[in-house]
Structure formats: structure tokens, C-alpha cells
Amino acid sequence: MSIKPDSTPSTGVRLDKWLWAARFFKTRSLAAEEIHKGRVSINGSTAKAAREVRVGDTIALRQGNMPKTVVVRGISGTRGPAAVAQLLYYETEESQQQRLQLTVQRRLAPEPANTITQQRQGRPTKRQRRALDGVRQPWGERWSSSLDD
């Protein structure tokens, strides 16, 4: 299964361009930004956007909160249909297992909003709100800190 590159050199293509063509990021500038932040590595080392990607390279990246490790199958410098983009790489078994495990953990984790309401017992009632406002307003009847003439 060989993917023909569209007007790109046969040796490799820029990392940001490949990530965009493989549809990991919506724009090339988003891909370059993630690379600049150090969230993308090639063969275990951090990479720059201009680094050439070659067939057989292992790329570790994060899409949202999900980490992925993919192996490059093909080189393309142009963005095509999603079906063609999926042929440019394959995800490693360890990466798939890790993503599945994270998905299960998120599903079983408690809802953060529930823990907040348990600590604070929800929103204050009208009576509690008036009591809080009385404590917070040391000015008494004055509604501003400026002096009225």
C-alpha cells in the first residue's frame, strides 16, 4: 500500500504539513503551535515544525486530552479526504489500549460539579444570601466608596 505524494519530495515532508495532511489538526498553524509547545515528538525526541517526516517514524502527540502514538505509513503534503488521510499512518496497539483505559477512567470518574455541590451544599437560599450580604458590606447604607457631596 503506497501513498503517492502530491508534488512533495520523496524523502520527506515537514512535520506540521504532514500532521495537517493526516488530519490531526484542522490548520497547519495549529499543528505548528502544538509542535512549538512541545506536545509532539518524533522517535522519542521533541521536534520542530520544519523537521522532515519519513516513512517508519513514530510520532507521539495529543489530540485534546487523548495521547496518541502513530507510525508513519505514507507521506503527503496535501490535505485530502479523511479516508486517504487515515492511510498515512497507523496507531500502535499500546496507544489504543491507553486511550481505551483513559476513556474508561473518565467514564467512571465522579462528576466534578457534584463534588462542588457536596462541599458547598449548593447555592445559598435567599435568607443565607442576605446574611452573607450583611457580612460583606461594612459600608452600611453607602453603596459606593466615593464621598457624595
Per-residue pLDDT of the chain (149 residues; tens, 9 = 90+): 455 545 444 578 999 999 999 999 999 999 999 999 989 999 989 889 999 999 999 999 998 888 999 999 999 889 999 999 999 999 999 999 999 999 998 888 877 666 655 555 678 888 888 888 776 666 656 556 665 55
Q: Is residue 134 part of a domain?
A: no
Q: Are 3 and 73 in contact (CB under 8 A)?
A: yes
By CB atoms closer than 10 A (0-12, 13-18, 19+), residue 140 is exposed
pTM of the full structure: 0.67
CB atoms closer than 10 angstroms to residue 2: 9
Q: Is residue 92 part of a domain?
A: yes
The total number of structural domains that make up the chain: 1
Phi then psi dihedrals of residue 83, to 5 deg: -65, -40
* Alpha-helical regions (H) of 77-125: 82-85, 93-108, 112-120
What letter would DSSP give residue 87?
G
Q: Are 69 and 92 in contact (CB under 8 A)?
A: yes
Q: Is residue 32 part of a domain?
A: yes
Range of the domain at 97: 13-108
Q: Residue 80 sits in a domain of what CATH number?
A: 3.10.290.10
pLDDT given for residue 124 in this prediction: 80
C-alpha cell at 110: 465522579
Q: Is residue 87 part of a domain?
A: yes
Q: Is residue 86 part of a domain?
A: yes
Q: Is residue 4 part of a domain?
A: no
- DSSP 3-state percent helix, strand, coil across the chain (nearest 5): 40, 15, 45
Q: Cα(81)–Cα(72) distance, rounded to whole angstroms?
A: 17
Q: Is residue 68 part of a domain?
A: yes
- Only one residue has cell 519519513, namely 54
Q: List beta partners, residue 89.
A: 72
Counting Cα atoms < 13 Å in the Cβ hemisphere of 30 gives 12
Q: Is residue 52 part of a domain?
A: yes
pLDDT given for residue 5 in this prediction: 47
